Structure 1
């Protein structure tokens, strides 16, 4: 990357099935045209296989030359040191104890700096900076997929504690009906609930959603029960935190037409007065938001390891 192109930050976004490499123009708050590439990654593969997929994808941006890189990926992960802490989470277990900073730095000679951030943080920041939550404060955000990711922002800060903020800002550690929240709200929980109700092998969530739209009452009820439960768990938190917007992303948010109403119902049931005023919206830039948020942390904020760092203005 030439000195004249200092507005570009290179980003890797690592998901459970894919890795995306992109160049982000932090002045335009958008991906640079033609500079977004995706590769499949097996999150249950060996460390060598996973790293090879990441490097292979990143290499597609090698023509841009030297510059800073930001990496957004799920936890548990030591974002300051760049070391995997995955264990028993069903993905990336092979990266436990692996120094990703050292491995990627060695493989990306043009990386002048390498920073890491949580993918849910990056998603919510991206939507705050350039998407559905732009201009809002405070902001709450969740991602729905393998589990429940979350991030809470107030006046441009990522919060780890405070009124209405669960410990570390992590909704997935909360409990519902005597068990972990993700035993009720997650991809596997939705599939299990449908299988139990029908006695059939569990289809994927996309198929359950399709059946609900086609009039399957069991499929529709599974979505209703699941996301009303999520609303009941989030309701007391949002009532105390008082965000002006709750932005929802992740693969399951694609079933917005099935989950929005029960989510709202659960929220207002928990705190009718305050939660009725919260704007509940799907992400406006669901695929780009994690890339934009990671680039913002690295290129604008410049303190990606500090989840409480001031983050500027989203206007």
Structure 2
């Protein structure tokens, strides 16, 4: 079996992580993981300089000569088919609006026109990556969420992301599903946590890490807010467990690090609803995202 390789990129608002992946094994090549932190609101040329450094460093360290393509995990709004960025007014990538990222990367790296450069959203990459990390033993119908500044979702059927049809919400997204007095993301996100903490304590805090640290010190209100989020998350996903016929559910994103404070409440709620879905918390969001990106170039019979 010939080895084939892809370069995976996980692009966030403050970082880029690159790694070379053996596609037919779905394994990250030793020493190829390279991460750079940056301000994504720098002029586009400055951000692209950092991206280029990450890509070239990872590729060089892998000692792989030939790539089958680049596979990129990007936040939205983004035209994933055509490679065009539509992020605007989100305090990130302010200078990238309407730019064709595929062509900018191809030009920067002097890549041939026939080398695939593919894109997918961060939640889909996470879900597919979790499947491929252990595909032989993994669920065939896996549903995942990423909990952070927003609420990402993925619906994975045997390694493929499903984003249309009656078994999933519109575009495979949960963040904008109507919930209580707003939408799901109003309640299950860093923003929702901070708002609720202010509501119950009267205190303003800066970020999710501060709330997590408060919970670690035994702050009753902080713990209560996380537990409520777990219950809210359960209410949001339970209907889709049934519609998608999911047999496993995985939680990722920065807020997953606080699972000790919300997972029990989440599990209790789904148990009371009669759900038998197996629940996991991701142990490595970043590697999952890279594998999920590279899975766009995966061939089952290489």
Under a length normalisation based on structure 2, what TM-score does the superposition of the two structures give?
0.90
The reply to whether residue 14 of structure 1 matches residue 11 of structure 2 is: yes
CA positional deviation for 1:90: 3.7
Structure 1: runs of 5 or more not aligned? 302-311
CA positional deviation for 1:252: 0.8
- Deviations 1:7-54 (CA, angstroms, capped at 9, x unpaired): 221111101211011111223322111111000132333322322221
Judged with a 3 Å threshold, the aligned counterparts in structure 2 of structure 1 residues 31 and 156 are, in CA distance, closer, same or farther, namely closer
Q: Contact 2:19 / 2:33 at 8 angstroms: preserved in 1?
A: yes
RMSD: 2.2
- Secondary structure of the residue aligned to 1:95 is coil
Q: How many residues align?
A: 295
What is the aligned partner in structure 1 of residue 53 from structure 2?
56
The reply to whether residue 179 of structure 1 matches residue 182 of structure 2 is: yes
Q: How does 1:1-315 map to 2 (within 5 A)?
A: 6-63=3-60, 64-67=64-67, 68-110=69-111, 112-131=115-134, 134-269=137-272, 272-273=273-274, 275=275, 277-298=276-297, 300-301=298-299
Judged with a 3 Å threshold, the aligned counterparts in structure 2 of structure 1 residues 62 and 27 are, in CA distance, closer, same or farther, namely closer
Q: Which segment is superposed worse, 227-236 or 86-95?
A: 86-95
CA positional deviation for 1:66: 4.3
- Secondary structure of the residue aligned to 1:122 is helix
- Secondary structure of the residue aligned to 2:33 is strand
- Deviations 1:87-135 (CA, angstroms, capped at 9, x unpaired): 2334223211011011100111246331111111111101001149942
Q: Contact 1:132 / 1:284 at 8 angstroms: preserved in 2?
A: no
CA positional deviation for 1:79: 0.9
How many angstroms apart in 2 are the aligned matches of 1:181 and 1:90? 21
Judged with a 3 Å threshold, the aligned counterparts in structure 2 of structure 1 residues 131 and 213 are, in CA distance, closer, same or farther, namely farther
How many angstroms apart in 1 are the aligned matches of 2:89 and 2:135? 33
Q: Contact 1:131 / 1:289 at 8 angstroms: preserved in 2?
A: no
Under a length normalisation based on structure 1, what TM-score does the superposition of the two structures give?
0.86
Structure 2: runs of 5 or more not aligned? none
How many angstroms apart in 2 are the aligned matches of 1:88 and 1:76? 11
Q: Contact 1:195 / 1:201 at 8 angstroms: preserved in 2?
A: yes
- Secondary structure of the residue aligned to 2:116 is strand
